[in-house]
């Protein structure tokens, strides 16, 4: 039985529909990340699950129980907020205790849970301090602790790492993953950062404009994006996407790119439906899959000869941008070699078999 179930969720604000007939099932113990750009509806979905806002229509079930009409505190959930939302006039202990006292737990049990959570998150020395006296990272741990002490099966996270600096973000990410492993709870996590999604999730639900584009494991989302949106969203730098037409000359399918003088050999591509001559498609090539420039001997799916537009170097990575008639082609290059590419130079680029992505030009679906 799935732990969390969304059925035909519709949410409108006046004339604006934010979520249209959304279905989602989350299994027990999963770490599901709702990923998407601003305004895609992920936070709305989380708030609907929490009960902080009401659905316009549809049903939400938690642990098999219909919670659509229940108050947040009756749903068996705990939530961690982006800005921590600690009660400013209470000590850390008071913050942890508030929900427990409201649930009318007896004193001994409250103390036991607070001690357990404090130990788990290493915030024992902070118990008598007020939030104003804590650092950002400490506050975040207290916020997580406040959720932990409720000992519920489902935890909700609303972009909890956004307010932390980069170093803290990495540390807390590991921390949250560790907690997930130890408590074996179900986690629903909202973020717009794909790194967080890729590193923490068991499955990612990528959303855009109120619709779930793909709900799959991180690997699947990366290697087999279901449509153009997912393909362009996952991966940095973003996947190169070019329009092309299918040619079936010689019995072997290939794509003729528009605006780039090249033909991509699509032999071996697992088409869902057989391609036809002249079909309009969009071809996706990830920058990190290109072979090193000017080393294109061997069996490649496609060869390009393109002039360098400019290069970017960021310490550990480097990217070369090549000019085509259809925009820039981004290619990941080893930082050692990026210096060899000077603006205007024409480089030979090779793309290996098996890494090409083909999408329908009209609907964006993966072919």
Partner 1 sequence: MAFRWSRWSPQFALAPAGGVTLVAFAGSIGWTIWMSLTRSRRFADYGINWDEWSRQYVRLLKDDIFITALKNMVVLGVGSLLAIVFGFILAAMIDREKRGEGVFRTVFLYPLAVSLIVTGLAWRWLFNPTLGVENFLHQIGLPWARFDWLNYPETAMYGIILGTVWQGSGFYMALMLSGLKSINSEIWSAARLDGVSFWRLYLEIIIPMMRFTFLTCAILLSLGVVKAYDMVYAMTNGGPGQSTWVPAYYTIDAYWQKQNLGLASAAAVVMLAITVAIFLPLVLITAWQQRRQEARAQ
Partner 2 sequence: MSSIAEASLRHSRSVDETVAFPRKKKRISGRQIAILIFLTICALFFCVPLYVIVVTSLKSMDQIRQGDIFSLPWSLNFDAWVTAWDKSCSGTVCQGIKVGFVNSLEILFPSLVLSIGLSCVTGYALALWNVRWANSFLFVLFLCAFVPFQIIMVPLIMITGFMHVYGTIWGIAVVHAVLAMPILTLIFRNYYKGIPQEIMSAAMMDSGSFWRIFGEIILPMSGNIMIVVLILQITSIWNDFLIGLTYGGIGTQPMTVILANVVITALGEANYNVDMASALLTAFPPLIIYFVLGRFFVQGITAGAIKG
The residue ranges that bind partner 2 (CB under 8 A) are: 50-52, 71-74, 77-79, 81-90, 98-99, 101-103, 146, 150
CB of 69 to partner 1, least distance (A): 5
Q: Which is nearer to partner 2, 72 or 335 (CB)?
A: 72
Site for partner 1 in 12-71 (CB under 8 A): 69-71
Residues 98-137 contacting partner 1, CB under 8 A: none
Q: Which residues contact 331 (CB under 8 A, 6 or more apart)?
A: 287, 290, 293, 319, 320, 321, 322, 349
Q: 69 is in the binding site of which of partner 1, partner 2, none (Cβ under 5 to 8 A by kind)? A: partner 1
Instruction: Considering the complex, state which of residue 72 and residue 363 has its C-beta at the smaller distance from partner 1.
Output: 72
Q: Which residues is 62 bridged to in the sheet?
A: 4, 65
CB under 8 A, 24+ apart: contacts of 130-133: 130/88, 130/89, 130/90, 130/91, 130/92, 131/84, 131/86, 131/87, 131/88, 131/92, 131/95, 132/88
CA dist 3 to 25, 181, 286, 322, Å? 8, 17, 36, 48
Instruction: Mark 66-105 with x for binding to partner 1 (rule: CB under 8 A) and - for no binding.
Output: ---xxxx---------------------------------
Of 150 and 357, the one with the shorter C-beta distance to partner 2 is: 150
Q: How far is the CB of 117 from partner 2 (least distance, A)?
A: 14
Q: Report residue 195: phi and psi, to 5°.
A: -60, -45
Q: Are 269 and 253 in contact (CB under 8 A)?
A: yes
Nearest to partner 2 of 157, 233 (CB atom): 157
Write out the two tokens for 223.
Answer: 């290697």
The set of residues, in sequence order, having a beta carbon less than 8 Å from that of 129 and lying 6+ positions away, is 91, 92
Q: Which is nearer to partner 1, 71 or 106 (CB)?
A: 71
Q: Which helix (H) or strand (E) holds 182?
A: helix 166-183
Contact of residue 103 among partner 2, partner 1, none (CB under 5-8 Å per partner type) = partner 2
106 touches, from partner 2, partner 1, none (C-beta below 5 to 8 Å by class): none
- Please report how close the Cβ of residue 59 comes to partner 1 at its closest, in angstroms: 13
SS3 93: helix
Nearest distance in Å: CB 30, partner 2: 21
Minimal distance, residue 42 CB to partner 2, in Å: 16
Q: Report the partner that residue 102 touches, choosing among partner 2, partner 1, none (CB closer than 5 to 8 A by kind).
A: partner 2
Specify the residue, 57 or 135, whose C-beta has the smaller distance to partner 1: 57
Residue number, 53 or 346, with CB nearest to partner 1: 53
Q: Residue 51 or 210: which CB sits closer to partner 1?
A: 51
Instruction: Choose the one of partner 1, partner 2, none that binds residue 18, judging by a C-beta under 5 to 8 angstroms depending on kind.
Output: none
Residue 28 has φ and ψ, to the nearest 5°, of -60, 135
DSSP symbols for 95-163: HHHHHHHHTT--HHHHHHHHHHHHHHHT-GGGTTS-GGGS-HHHHHHHHHHHHHTT--SEEEEESTTTT
Query: Which among partner 1, partner 2, none contacts residue 78 (Cβ within 5 to 8 A by kind)?
Result: partner 2
Q: Does 10 bind partner 1 (CB under 8 A)?
A: no
DSSP structural state of residue 73: G
Interaction site with partner 1 (CB under 8 A): 69-72
């Amino acid at each position: 039985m799935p732990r969390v179930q969304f059925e035909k969720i519709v949410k409108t604000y006046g004339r604006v529909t934010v979520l249209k007939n959304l279905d989602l099932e989350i299994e027990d113990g999963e770490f599901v990340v709702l990923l998407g750009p601003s305004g895609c509806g992920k936070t709305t979905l989380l708030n609907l699950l929490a009960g902080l806002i009401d659905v316009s229509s549809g049903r939400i079930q938690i642990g098999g129980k219909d919670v659509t009409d229940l108050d947040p505190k009756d749903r068996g959930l705990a939530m961690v907020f982006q800005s921590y939302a600690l009660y400013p006039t209470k000590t850390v202990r008071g913050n942890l205790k508030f929900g427990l006292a409201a649930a009318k737990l007896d004193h001994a049990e409250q103390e036991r849970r607070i001690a357990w959570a404090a130990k788990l998150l290493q915030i024992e020395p902070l118990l008598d301090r007020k939030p104003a006296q804590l650092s950002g990272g400490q506050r975040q741990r207290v916020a997580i602790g406040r959720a932990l002490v409720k000992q519920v099966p489902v935890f909700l996270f609303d972009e909890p790492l956004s307010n932390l600096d980069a170093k803290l973000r990495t540390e807390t990410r590991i921390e949250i993953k560790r907690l997930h492993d130890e408590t074996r709870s179900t986690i629903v996590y909202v973020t717009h950062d794909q790194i967080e999604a890729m590193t923490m999730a068991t499955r990612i639900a990528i959303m855009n404009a109120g619709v779930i584009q793909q709900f799959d494991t991180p690997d699947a989302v990366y290697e087999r994006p279901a449509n153009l949106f997912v393909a362009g969203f996952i991966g940095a730098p973003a996947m190169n996407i070019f329009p092309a037409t299918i040619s079936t000359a010689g019995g072997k399918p290939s794509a003729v790119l528009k605006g780039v003088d090249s033909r991509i050999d699509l032999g071996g591509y697992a088409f869902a439906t057989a391609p036809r001559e002249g079909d309009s498609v969009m071809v996706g090539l990830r920058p990190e899959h290109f072979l090193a420039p000017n080393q294109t001997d061997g069996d490649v799916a496609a060869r390009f000869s393109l002039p360098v537009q400019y290069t970017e170097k960021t310490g550990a990575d480097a990217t070369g941008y090549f000019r085509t008639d259809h925009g820039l082609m981004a290619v990941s290059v080893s930082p050692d070699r990026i210096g060899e590419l000077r603006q205007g130079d024409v480089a030979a680029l090779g793309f290996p078999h098996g890494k090409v992505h083909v999408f329908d030009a009209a609907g964006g679906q993966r072919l």
